[in-house]
Amino acid sequence: MLKVGVIGCGYWGPNLIRNFVQLNESDVVRVADLDPDRLKHMQSLYPGIQTTSDYHDIVSDPEIDIVAVATPVQTHFVFAREALLSNKHVFIEKPIAASVKEVKELIGLAQKNRCKLMVGHTFEYTAAVRKMKEIIDSGELGKIYYISSQRLNLGLFQQDINVLWDLAPHDISIILYLLECEPESVTAIGSSHINPAIEDVAILTMRFPDNLIAFVQTSWLDPDKVRKMTVVGSKKMMVYDDVQPSEKIRVYDKGVELPQHYDTFAEFHYSYKYGDIIIPKIEGGEPLRTELKHFIDCIKNDKTPISDGQSGLRVVRILEAAQNSIEKTNNNVIPVIRNGDEIKLHKV
Amino acid sequence: MLKVGVIGCGYWGPNLIRNFVQLNESDVVRVADLDPDRLKHMQSLYPGIQTTSDYHDIVSDPEIDIVAVATPVQTHFVFAREALLSNKHVFIEKPIAASVKEVKELIGLAQKNRCKLMVGHTFEYTAAVRKMKEIIDSGELGKIYYISSQRLNLGLFQQDINVLWDLAPHDISIILYLLECEPESVTAIGSSHINPAIEDVAILTMRFPDNLIAFVQTSWLDPDKVRKMTVVGSKKMMVYDDVQPSEKIRVYDKGVELPQHYDTFAEFHYSYKYGDIIIPKIEGGEPLRTELKHFIDCIKNDKTPISDGQSGLRVVRILEAAQNSIEKTNNNVIPVIRNGDEIKLHKV
Amino acid sequence: MLKVGVIGCGYWGPNLIRNFVQLNESDVVRVADLDPDRLKHMQSLYPGIQTTSDYHDIVSDPEIDIVAVATPVQTHFVFAREALLSNKHVFIEKPIAASVKEVKELIGLAQKNRCKLMVGHTFEYTAAVRKMKEIIDSGELGKIYYISSQRLNLGLFQQDINVLWDLAPHDISIILYLLECEPESVTAIGSSHINPAIEDVAILTMRFPDNLIAFVQTSWLDPDKVRKMTVVGSKKMMVYDDVQPSEKIRVYDKGVELPQHYDTFAEFHYSYKYGDIIIPKIEGGEPLRTELKHFIDCIKNDKTPISDGQSGLRVVRILEAAQNSIEKTNNNVIPVIRNGDEIKLHKV
Amino acid sequence: MLKVGVIGCGYWGPNLIRNFVQLNESDVVRVADLDPDRLKHMQSLYPGIQTTSDYHDIVSDPEIDIVAVATPVQTHFVFAREALLSNKHVFIEKPIAASVKEVKELIGLAQKNRCKLMVGHTFEYTAAVRKMKEIIDSGELGKIYYISSQRLNLGLFQQDINVLWDLAPHDISIILYLLECEPESVTAIGSSHINPAIEDVAILTMRFPDNLIAFVQTSWLDPDKVRKMTVVGSKKMMVYDDVQPSEKIRVYDKGVELPQHYDTFAEFHYSYKYGDIIIPKIEGGEPLRTELKHFIDCIKNDKTPISDGQSGLRVVRILEAAQNSIEKTNNNVIPVIRNGDEIKLHKV
């Protein structure tokens, strides 16, 4: 039975606690938070769990095997670092840390102390995203031309990070998981309307090898809740609509074909293909449960987590490049952050 | 009775012909096209109309009052110029011409010869867009923060212009009509997948005065047909979904408020407003009919068309700036085209 | 070239005229209507067509081969009868006539005078309904358990017939076309709210052989426009949603299976199957054009129309039975109209 | 602190347990079920709760104040009766019991022993249904013409009751709650396809005073999950779509008006009104929590529950009448069950 300590029981922490409690191979022994009301509420739900306002009670508790961190991103590094120094396995909510530098240090520490380090890229553990990967890997879609993703809704505004850091980690981690490669360049355009220091609307563009492009549109200011990703391939197209309760993925037998050769410009014609649409059945189950079971399995059997520190690093590298692009935008240009810049983006 | 000659009866021309025929104050006397099959088909539908493969038969016919141009954009200038030189009133499909230079010459000619020049920004004549303008002008939405528009579908690929020139004129003309101002800067990111010389996916960003930003996403490669525009204001938000057969506009009583002052960063809180949604009734009617009636009214009563040459110019100026931004993109930067550049963008 | 005379150019007649005009093998020579404005409008659209307020000018015109009737149902019989007596081929809008007696007389006359008699069950000529029939006939759905259909919207109220006579002919003709058999019994429940003499809401129940049941719900008083038919089979299920612009049919790989035998009631278990959903591609094309081409083909090549007089009779027999059921409802019972009653319902 | 014993922790029982645990004024002390696995699972979730396979341990426990029954409907009466005889307050899942006779005895016992008896008509405690009632009571819809409800999906098949007893209690309780009156007559048509003894598809018709009619369509065999209720009034119309995550209610400013008088049949015209649609904001919150808080409040402050025994009786009376109608259907008639029959239906 792995003993878990959870730091942070605000928005997402309670889900971690519930799942660690319900899994047969783990148990939550202590929860830390600065807000006594949250601690009290946790204790009312799980009378057997101890609470503390001092995270040291968790990272230094020799009984604890796993430290799970569900706090604002700026604090991830400190908590995770101390936990790793105390030889705990560490699970951190996405994004794994606030900078490439921080992530690299955590990865190094985990390697050195032979601890498992995993980031909560939950979507990589959903049946829908796995089905998408299965379809892409089968070659059914042909060559992938582009991916366009939208993650929009009204709130929840963050006070310390912009909308890209808040929402785009989901889309980025899904896209990297699907494509198994990293972008060659990153550009971002952002705009602030509520808090002048924090972008609340932003579009991220990633250029991948082989002319593949991906757009991620994020907003905290949209009246509709949208979570939609379109994957356009040379043979078929696929839409993942996560707002749908059951029909999350649609595969369209649609495409465009350019004839191999043509003599004159006037003869230049495209042929369109319009065929059936298939909505594959997606198995249910709570992704967070799958994710945490996977973490426990990696600990018990010394495996590398799918969303390990390197996976977290790839996402933060893109977020940092995007942030850079937004900040360096001047009157004349929007910078493209790419290979050769201080932020290295390269193929996996 | 105004006599009309129509150049081009391929994709959109037949709609012009049908409407000019059905209006009481106009009649179509002659149609020109290079494709004899199209001419034959038009004659089978309207036995009274003469046909020709030579557009000079139209621009030089002294009987004709109005020349309507529904041909590929590269040809607009030549046909419109000759018609204006022959003192015809000219109606041109969007975009009005292929460059700022061309549009300016047409505007000058129309002024000189006292002819009416109008561009077919059809959406400015729809009940839905007019309802949106009415709502915005009433102040109901508060200060406009941003507009995000999507115009996506599979095909129809153009052979001579990219997806921005093909689809974005609709969004741009709607946005300029709603805001009554021009962007201070334009950026565009495009990507080519089917024909390497022609972008088939593109995102246009326009920055307007007072921190208002607008995004226009276009694609010829999307499996879903999407025509959606979101207008986010400080008080309310509005979504225009043109794919809906009747419920095209939704006004959301949603918003975010930032408190006037706060002492510490920790006290910083937003308040969200979630209220009713209203779907206003939109009157029906074919917009093209409204548009052409307006053109006839402008001719008869010497008025300036809503979508006059200047309106056409404003749209082409943005398209040209966007094209410039796409073409000048290099490894390091995406250019922002703005005041001071060769392409002037300024307030109306 | 078959010469057509059309009686009635109110709501649906203009569509008949347009299609007969556009088909290569037919031409409209004369149109009759009591409303001079409608006649004038038709003449403005088709200057070559003669108009009359006296239908005798059509049924007695020796030049005319086909008489098409698009008038209120009470008048169908008189116009069709005279046309058949004058040896015209007759096309009648649905329902073919106002009573079983009338339909039988028209069928007899058509047989005697060797004229083609066809009723406008347009849906039997749509690609969607034909795709449904193809799927059912392939056995993919297994044994059909039940069909449930809804045809709801606000208006158009009829002044002379109730909502069942107005809307249900579509559903009934589709269901009979799909199943190729007639119901053994018919029951209907109706309710009048606006005009006390005319039901504006009604549910029709048809019991077919082999325990197959069909429900048809109709309303002139529903805020939503609904045109939806669900076909539930033992292996798969199918939904036809005619309000969808392109995705009209969905085939669900869903089902319920009862185990062959079980020892005790407590052991009694069902197994559910949840699989993919397929949205087959439906070809476009105007069904009315397909329908009228079929009529012309039947005339030219002496074939029996798919929606011939017998098809019209089957639909009217059910409508009459339903009307009977509604009218004979008393405080205690809703009559089931079935074999043995004056209105015979039997297998085809 | 009220002590609760729960009988049945299969499908719905766990929700009762969770809510009674989380409420401040109640606590669950013991849970009974015949399935040891379910008991074990409950104990893993709530280590402080005792379990038993003998319900007598609950009804006879002097420490227990409230007995909550979440078992198959046939067993409700026995458990509730014994609990009431032991002076417990009793909460029973819907429908309250299997027959009018049983419900009457429970009501009598509760009155005699001064215990609170409440049935889990959960929808009466939802914000959406309460909003609907508020709108109807305000007179905004005008006179109610009819209500049409659909509750369709694939499974869960019940082994002991048909689809009406399983699903229609929701619709019936909502409709009675909205209208505050009982139907004058009930008719039902049902059909069995999977298990020949149990109807899996059924339509219930209720006629209320003043020409108001209500239809409830239920199915265990539909591929789509549908939970939709349409309320048509003389002034406006309202649709409640419970499948929508947030936009559950729409009020349509649509209607039909009949002119007061008209001279001839030909002058007879309807006027339609098409106006805005309003989607009122619905407050969130778990209805079951509201429901159980209300029960506790009724116990503490000696109030009558909104969904008391009489409310349960009204629903069972209609279900019994419907069952009667289905069973007495013969070849010729579907019985209408109404006043004067053995099953009395009368105004509240």
Segment C6-30 mean pLDDT: 94
Q: Give how far C272 is from chain A: nearest CA, Å.
A: 13
Pick the residue from chain B with its C-alpha nearest to C21.
Answer: B45
How high is the mean pLDDT of chain B? 91
What pLDDT is attached to residue C332? 74
Q: Which CATH class is domain C124-286+317-338?
A: alpha beta
C278 contacts A277? CB cut-off 8 A: yes
Residues of B in contact with A338 (CB under 8 A): 331-332
Compute the distance between CA of residue C192 and CA of residue C202 in angstroms, rounded to an integer. 9
A with B: how many residue pairs have Cβ under 8 Å apart? 145
* pLDDT the model gives residue A263: 47
In this complex, do D278 and B275 lie within 8 Å of one another by their Cβ atoms? no
A278 Cβ under 8 Å from any chain C Cβ:
yes
Residue among D313, B80, B67, B222 nearest A272 (CA): B222
User: What's the pLDDT band for B335 if we cut at 50, 70, 90?
Assistant: confident
How close D17 comes to chain C (CA, Å)?
26
The neighbours of chain B, by the rule of 3 or more Cβ pairs under 8 Å, are A, C, D
Which residues on C lie below 8 Å from A253 (Cβ)? 281
Residues of A within 8 A of D48 (CB-CB) are 47
* D48/A48 CB distance under 8 A: no
Q: Report which of D270, D241, D276, D282 is spatially closest to residue D140, judged by C-alpha positions.
A: D276
pLDDT of residue C334: 78
pLDDT class of D342 with cuts at 50, 70, 90: very low
The bridge status of strand C185-191 relative to strand C337-338 is: antiparallel
Strand pairing of D212-219 and D144-154? parallel
Q: Give B48-102 pLDDT, tens digit per residue.
A: 899 999 999 999 999 999 999 999 999 999 999 999 999 999 999 999 999 999 9
Contact between B96 and B84 under an 8 Å Cβ cutoff? The reply is no
| D62 C-beta neighbours (distance < 10 Å), count | 9
- The model's confidence at residue D335, banded by pLDDT at 50, 70 and 90, is confident
Q: How confident is the model at residue D329 (pLDDT cuts 50, 70, 90)?
A: confident
**Closest chain C C-alpha to B248 CA, distance in angstroms:** 15
Interface of D with C in 182-221 (CB under 8 A): 185, 187, 189, 191-195, 201, 203, 205, 211, 213, 215, 217, 219-221
User: Which chain B residues have a beta carbon less than 8 Å from that of D280?
Assistant: 276
Query: Which of D159, D252, D333 lies nearest to residue C265, judging by beta carbons?
Result: D159
Name subunits touching A (3+ CB pairs < 8 A).
B, C, D
Contact criterion met (CB < 8 Å) for B154 and A332: no
pLDDT tier, D204 (very low <50, low <70, confident <90, very high otherwise)? very high
- D247 part of contact set with chain B, CB < 8 Å: yes
Average pLDDT, chain A: 91
- Cβ under 8 Å to A: D residues 111-140: none
Tokens of D162: 């048909």
Q: Which residue has the tokens 């506790």?
A: D296
ipTM: 0.91
For the segment B235-255, the average pLDDT, to the nearest whole number, is: 95
Burial of D78 (0-12, 13-18, 19+ CB in 10 A): middle
Is the pLDDT at B343 greater than 50, yes or no? no
User: Which residues from chain D sit within 8 angstroms of residue A45, using beta carbons?
Assistant: 22
User: Of the candidates B253, B275, B279, which has its C-beta nearest D277's C-beta?
Assistant: B279
Q: Which residues of A touch B187 (CB under 8 A)?
A: 189, 334
What secondary structure, in 3-state letters, does B84-110 show?
Answer: HHCCCEEEEECCCCCCHHHHHHHHHHH
Q: A224, A243, A253: best mutation site toward chain B, by most B Cβ within 10 Å?
A: A224
Averaged confidence pLDDT in chain D: 91
What pLDDT score does A269 carry?
Answer: 60
- CATH code for the domain defined by A124-285+317-338: 3.30.360.10
Q: What are residue B238's DSSP bridge partners?
A: B231, B251
Taking CA atoms, what residue in A is nearest to C279?
A: A277
Rounded to an integer, the average pLDDT of B307-334 is 90
Of B217, B223, B338, the CB nearest to A239: B223
Q: Quick one: pLDDT at residue D339? A: 52
Q: Which chain C residues touch D260 with a CB distance below 8 Å?
A: none
Nearest to C92 by CA among C114, C59, C63: C59
B47 touches chain C (CB under 8 A): yes
> How high is the pLDDT of residue D334?
78
At residue D160, the pLDDT reads 82
Q: Do A278 and C274 touch (CB under 8 A)?
A: no
pLDDT in tens, B88-137: 999 999 999 999 999 999 999 999 999 999 999 999 999 999 999 999 99
Domain borders along chain B are: 2-115, 124-286+317-338
Cβ–Cβ contact A279 with C under 8 A: yes
Tokens 């006043």 identify what position?
D339
Higher-pLDDT residue of B268 and B209 is: B209
d(CA D8, CA D69): 6
Q: What confidence tier does A202 reach under pLDDT thresholds 50, 70, 90?
A: very high
Residues in chain B closer than 8 A to A336 (CB atoms): 329, 331-334
| Confidence band for B333, pLDDT divided at 50, 70 and 90 | confident
CATH architecture entry for C2-115: 3-Layer(aba) Sandwich (3.40)
What pLDDT, in 10s, does the model give residues D160-179?
899 999 999 999 999 999 99
Res C258: pLDDT: 65
End-to-end CA distance of chain D: 35
Cβ atoms within 10 Å of C339's Cβ, excluding its own: 13
How many CB atoms are closer than 10 A to CB D209?
Answer: 12
Residues of chain D contacting C185 with CB distance shorter than 8 Å: 331
Q: What does the pLDDT look like over A207-219, one tens digit per residue? A: 999 999 999 999 9
Q: What is the mean pLDDT of residues D62-87?
A: 97
DSSP class of residue B220 equals S
Would you state the pLDDT for residue C348? Answer: 29
pTM of the prediction?
0.92
Question: pLDDT tens, D121-136?
Answer: 999 999 999 999 999 9
pLDDT band at A63 (very low <50, low <70, confident <90, very high): very high
Which residues of D fall within a CB distance of 8 Å from C217?
148, 215, 217
> Over pLDDT 90: what percentage of chain B?
80
pLDDT, mean of residues D20-47: 93
Q: Do D48 and A47 touch (CB under 8 A)?
A: yes
How many angstroms separate the CA atoms of B165 and B319, rounded? 6
- Give residue-wise pLDDT tens across range B10-61: 889 999 999 999 899 999 999 999 999 999 999 988 888 999 999 999 999 9
**pLDDT tier at C331 (50, 70, 90 boundaries)?**
low
- Write down the pLDDT at residue A338: 61
D328: pLDDT confidence band, cut at 50, 70 and 90?
Answer: confident
Return the percentage of chain D with pLDDT > 90, whole number.
80
Residue A348: pLDDT above 50?
A: no
Determine which of C160, C222, C235, C337 to mutate to test the interface with D (most D C-beta atoms within 10 Å). Answer: C222
- B48 lies within 8 A of chain C by CB: yes
Strands, DSSP E only, in A180-294? 185-191, 201-208, 212-219, 221-233, 237-241, 249-257, 271-279
Is C155 an interface residue toward B (CB < 8 Å)? no
* Position C338 confidence tier, pLDDT thresholds 50, 70, 90: low
> Residue D190: closest CA among chain C residues belongs to which residue?
C213
pLDDT of residue B61: 96
Asked if C260 is an interface residue toward chain D (Cβ–Cβ < 8 A), one would say no
- Quickly state the pLDDT bin for B346 (edges 50, 70, 90): very low
Shortest distance between the Cα of A327 and any Cα of chain D, in A, equals 37
CA distance D252 to chain A (A): 21
Neighbours of chain C (3+ CB pairs under 8 A): A, B, D
Residue type, D154: L
**D278 shares contact with chain C (CB less than 8 Å):** no
pLDDT at residue D269, rounded to an integer: 60
Q: According to the model, what pLDDT value does residue B318 have? A: 95
Residue D280 forms contact with B (CB below 8 Å): yes
Give the model's pLDDT for residue A260.
55
Tell me which residue in D157, D189, D232 faces C221 most closely, judged by beta carbons.
D232
Question: B247: nearest CA in chain D?
Answer: D277
Residue C155: what pLDDT? 78
Chain C hits for B48, Cβ within 8 Å: 47
Contact B203 A221 (CB under 8 A): no
Determine, for residues B281 and D276 on separate chains, whether the beta-carbon distance falls below 8 Å: yes
Q: Is the pLDDT of residue A35 over 90?
A: yes
Question: What's the residue count for chain C?
Answer: 348
